[in-house]
Amino acid sequence: MKLTYLGHSCFTLRIANKVILFDPFIRANELASGINFNSIHADYILVSHGHSDHTADLVDLARNTGAKVVSSFEIHTWLNNQGIENTHPMNIGGKWLFEFGTLHMVFAAHSNSLPDGTYGGVAAGFVIETSEMIIYYAGDTALTTDMRLLAEKFTINTALLPIGDNFTMDYKDACKASDFINCNKIIAMHFDTFGYIKINHKEAIDYFTNNNKQLIIPTIGNTIEL
């Protein structure tokens, strides 16, 4: 599996011959100016919630790529109203078998509205369960004890967690979250994009190291082999 960072909380994940895109926010992110937007390919787009820093490029990418968009029922309806019909609605606690594996929609402690101000449903994270490994994409979330349930249900190999603070948990809470989900390999997201969420990379990495965990702070445009 290959994970490519496109900035903020946006990644592509290649599983076998399918490409999954998470929370598309590229063109409005100055830090991601080196990404060639028109070259982005996706077979599936997973949307954790409707805030503009997770959906700014959603409609255009859904049209450009023809990808199936998986989201809350409310975001699915919002997309359908804009002419995007290749969608799959889900809700918290549900799962569905797609071509790449079983996708579970799980709780995220965060607000959720769409760019036009309408309600976006409950904010979510995703657990992707394949024959090779299990990956947890937390979306925007606070630290919550509900994460302990994930460790009871899944053996998570890699987790993508927000660490930027202010709008989500910080790196210390992300480290505690890694305890709750029983996963010591963490890939950071939702950091540095805005002044509110700028972090000290060394402090964050050292904190994880001192707790016998691995924090990977990805560089935009780079690919990580999972």
Residue type, 33: S
How much is the average pLDDT of 201-216? 98
Distance of alpha carbon 91 from alpha carbon 75, whole angstroms: 11
Could you read off the pLDDT of 157-167 as tens digits, one per residue? 999 999 999 99
Helix ranges, the chain (H):
52-55, 58-65, 73-81, 147-153, 171-181, 201-210
147 has a pLDDT exceeding 90: yes
- Angle of CA points 44, 49, 51, to nearest 5°: 115
pLDDT of residue 83: 96
Q: Which domain holds residue 62?
A: 2-225
Contact 12, 4 (CB under 8 A): yes
> Which residues, other chains included, contact 191 with Cβ-Cβ below 8 Å and sequence gap of 6+?
162, 163, 164, 197, 198, 199, 217
Percent of the chain with pLDDT over 90: 99
Could you read off the pLDDT of 32-47 as tens digits, one per residue? 999 999 999 999 999 9
How much is the average pLDDT of 104-113? 98
Percent of the chain with pLDDT over 70: 100
> Which residues, other chains included, contact 89 with Cβ-Cβ below 8 Å and sequence gap of 6+?
71, 72, 73, 76, 77
| pLDDT band of 124, cuts 50, 70, 90 | very high
Mean pLDDT of the chain: 97
2 has a pLDDT exceeding 90: yes
Provide the domain count of the chain: 1
pLDDT of residue 16: 83
pLDDT of residue 120: 97
Dmax over CA atoms of the chain, in Å, equals 50
Helix ranges, 14-120 (H):
52-55, 58-65, 73-81
| pLDDT band of 226, cuts 50, 70, 90 | very high
Contact 101, 122 (CB under 8 A): no
| pLDDT band of 122, cuts 50, 70, 90 | very high
How much is the average pLDDT of 178-207? 98
Could you read off the pLDDT of 77-102 as tens digits, one per residue? 999 999 999 999 999 999 999 999 99
pLDDT of residue 37: 97
CATH of the domain at 176: 3.60.15.10
